[in-house]
Amino acid sequence: MGVLDADGECFTAIRDELVKLESQGVNGTLLATHLCDLASSLVSSTYGLNTFFVLISAYLVFAMQIGFAMLCAGSVRAKNTMNIMLTNVLDAAAGALSYYLVGYGFAYGKDGNKFIGSGSFAMHDFKSDVDYRNWIFQWAFAAASAGIASGSIAERTQFTAYLVYSTFLTGFVYPVVSHWVWSPYGWLTALDPEKEHLFKSGMVDFAGSGVVHMVGGIAGFWGAFLEGPRLGRFDVRGRKQEIKGHSGTLIVLGSFLLWFGWYGFNPGSQVAIADQVSAIIVARCAITTTLCGAAAAVTTLFAKKLLVAHWSVADVCNGLLGGFAAITAGCAFVEPWAAVLLGFLAAWTLIGMNALMEKFQYDDPLEAFQLHGGCGLLGVLFVGLLGKEDYVEQVFSRGNFGGLFYTGSGRLLAAQLVGAIVIILWTSLLMGICFALLKAFNLLRISQEDEIAGLDLTRHGGSNYPGDDHHPAKLYPPTALGQAADSNAKNVYSSKV
């Protein structure tokens, strides 16, 4: 789409028509000029608005990095905070580079096939604003997916392993999945009304319960599963020991920032706003997102009161996020009441997944697999049941498919199921191999001594909270390292006179 001069192509095109109006006493030339100006201003204004909308949404999705960093920091022990936060910074920073070099090309390059994209590597053929704004929006999503996985392997993973898995996930594993579902050339996609779709439907995942959350969660699962639980998490008889995070304040701060950013993640996935249909879809997404998260949070609050007899802040926050992860697939397609129902289901899904993973002695410091994997899958399947046909048609500009309870047809549900299974298999295969190789070369898990002392002291140059006398991080283990750090602390940054 371009912006044209008033007396160029446009003028020539309508001149013949307007000559006919001259007999009615109309100044055809002037009218032509005005009409062309009008049309071209309309195009400009739409362009400006849509670009603005996509960019703001991208910035909001980026803000979820801050949220996730705070959530992670608060959820782990103080001695590992620097480590986990640094991995969050690197997900965004290193992710930007790998997504620039190859990731975007594998996802959206136009020269590929149904399986993988090709072209646009290192932005070599980027021309218009649409290319750049799409890149930044999609990069923010890729960084989110990598961030999710880091939660599962927190507190016991070597930094090298983080760099390797993160680059691989953002540069290849995730882009390929996003190509299947979100590129008009992908084999799973529901986009592009002109072509054939899987089961005459295609997989419907508006903002990524499958593409982002399941991929991130399953990647995390394999890392955490292969390296094993944190020391002390399950005792000798297999009973669990709760390892609580060190700051509820940070957990809440992080959760709120994630909630805030989700308003870019879900509604922003329409990637347009300057027309009536898009505006409706965007607004609907904001509503369903809000309602689902809220319902999940409230459900979790009461469920945990029932189960553990108190009002649990950290659990409510996780439940909230589970609701968001679930609604991400169907935010544009479900009715508000259905979003509330989904939130209720997501809360119980998370509780159930946690109970299940405990049975397998699987340890995930952020419950990332249970939340993003479990609630993500729930969200993907839910669309197949309760995606309203009218809404689906509004988004995809073609009709005749929708949720089972609206249309009576299982085609969409089948597509969702196939998509979910393939995503699970693909991610498991690739990330399983990645983590297995890291483990084989002794690059995955840190040593026991390092784990006890904490990653901050052993790999990041010192405690996150130096000089805090009240903090258990000061209880350094009786090693030479611990003693040296301890005496240093007393000399240099005592906060007491």
Q: Which of residues 135-174 bind another protein (CB under 8 A)?
A: 135-136, 139, 159
Q: What is the smallest separation between the CB atom of 159 and another protein, expressed in angstroms?
A: 5
Which CB sits closer to another protein, 221 or 476? 476
**According to CB under 8 A, which one of 57, 71, 90, 180 is a site residue for another protein?**
90
Q: Are 223 and 149 in contact (CB under 8 A)?
A: yes
Q: What is the smallest separation between the CB atom of 453 and another protein, expressed in angstroms?
A: 12
Supply the DSSP string of 178-202, one letter for each residue.
HHHHHSTT-SSB---TTS--GGGT-
Q: Are 101 and 116 in contact (CB under 8 A)?
A: no
Q: What is the smallest separation between the CB atom of 490 and another protein, expressed in angstroms?
A: 13
Separation of first and last alpha carbons in the chain: 68
Residues near 332 by beta carbon (within 8 Å), at least 6 away in sequence: 206, 269, 270, 281, 284, 285, 288, 391, 395
Give me the phi and psi of 189, to 5 degrees please: -70, 155
Q: What is the smallest separation between the CB atom of 441 and another protein, expressed in angstroms?
A: 19
**According to CB under 8 A, which one of 7, 52, 125, 484 is a site residue for another protein?**
52
What is d(CA 346, CA 355) in angstroms, rounded to the nearest whole number?
14
Which CB sits closer to another protein, 441 or 493? 493
Residues near 359 by beta carbon (within 8 Å), at least 6 away in sequence: none
Q: Are 227 and 445 in contact (CB under 8 A)?
A: yes
**According to CB under 8 A, which one of 97, 231, 287, 481 is a site residue for another protein?**
97
Which CB sits closer to another protein, 79 or 179? 79
Q: What is the smallest separation between the CB atom of 24 and another protein, expressed in angstroms?
A: 8
Number of helices (H) and strands (E) in the chain: give both, helices first. 20, 0
- Residues between 30 and 49 that touch another protein (CB under 8 A): 31-32, 34-49
Q: What is the smallest separation between the CB atom of 443 and another protein, expressed in angstroms?
A: 14
Residue 23 CA from chain centroid, whole number: 61
Q: Are 179 and 138 in contact (CB under 8 A)?
A: no
Q: What is the smallest separation between the CB atom of 198 and another protein, expressed in angstroms?
A: 26
Does residue number 479 form part of the binding site for another protein (CB under 8 A)?
no
- Residues between 439 and 468 that touch another protein (CB under 8 A): 456, 459-462, 464-468
- Sole residue written with tokens 């960019």: 55
Pick the stretch among 78-86, 202-210, 211-219, 366-374 that binds another protein (CB under 8 A).
78-86
Q: What count of other Cβ atoms lies within 10 Å of the Cβ of residue 336?
A: 13
Q: What is the smallest separation between the CB atom of 466 and another protein, expressed in angstroms?
A: 5
Closest by alpha carbon to 159, among 77, 238, 80? 80
Q: What is the smallest separation between the CB atom of 1 and another protein, expressed in angstroms?
A: 5
Residue 140 CA from chain centroid, whole number: 8
Pick the stretch among 83-91, 179-187, 195-203, 379-387 that binds another protein (CB under 8 A).
83-91
Distances (CA, A) of 380 to 71, 321, 330: 25, 16, 7
Pick the stretch among 15-23, 214-222, 368-376, 385-393 that binds another protein (CB under 8 A).
15-23
**According to CB under 8 A, which one of 302, 311, 337, 441 is a site residue for another protein?**
311
Q: What is the smallest separation between the CB atom of 55 and another protein, expressed in angstroms?
A: 6
Which CB sits closer to another protein, 142 or 413? 142
Which CB sits closer to another protein, 22 or 390? 22
Q: Are 9 and 238 in contact (CB under 8 A)?
A: no
What is d(CA 155, CA 153) in angstroms, rounded to the nearest whole number?
7
Q: What is the smallest separation between the CB atom of 235 and another protein, expressed in angstroms?
A: 11
Question: What angle do helix axes 376-386 and 313-330 make, rounded to 10 degrees?
Answer: 40
Residues near 416 by beta carbon (within 8 Å), at least 6 away in sequence: 203, 204, 380, 381, 383, 384
Which CB sits closer to another protein, 252 or 404? 252
Which CB sits closer to another protein, 241 or 447? 241
Pick the stretch among 127-135, 364-372, 408-416, 428-436 that binds another protein (CB under 8 A).
127-135
- Residues between 226 and 285 that touch another protein (CB under 8 A): 232, 241, 243-251, 253, 275-277
Which CB sits closer to another protein, 53 or 221? 53
Q: What is the smallest separation between the CB atom of 174 and another protein, expressed in angstroms?
A: 17
**According to CB under 8 A, which one of 306, 359, 408, 475 is a site residue for another protein?**
475
Helical ranges in 374-443 per DSSP H: 376-386, 389-396, 404-407, 411-440
Containing 24, the helix (H) or strand (E) segment is: none
Pick the stretch among 17-25, 262-270, 385-393, 477-485 that binds another protein (CB under 8 A).
17-25
**According to CB under 8 A, which one of 133, 179, 197, 213 is a site residue for another protein?**
133
Q: What is the smallest separation between the CB atom of 282 and another protein, expressed in angstroms?
A: 14
**According to CB under 8 A, which one of 29, 111, 112, 123 is a site residue for another protein?**
123
- Sole residue written with tokens 């998260």: 293
Beta bridge partners of 234: 240
Does residue number 472 form part of the binding site for another protein (CB under 8 A)?
yes
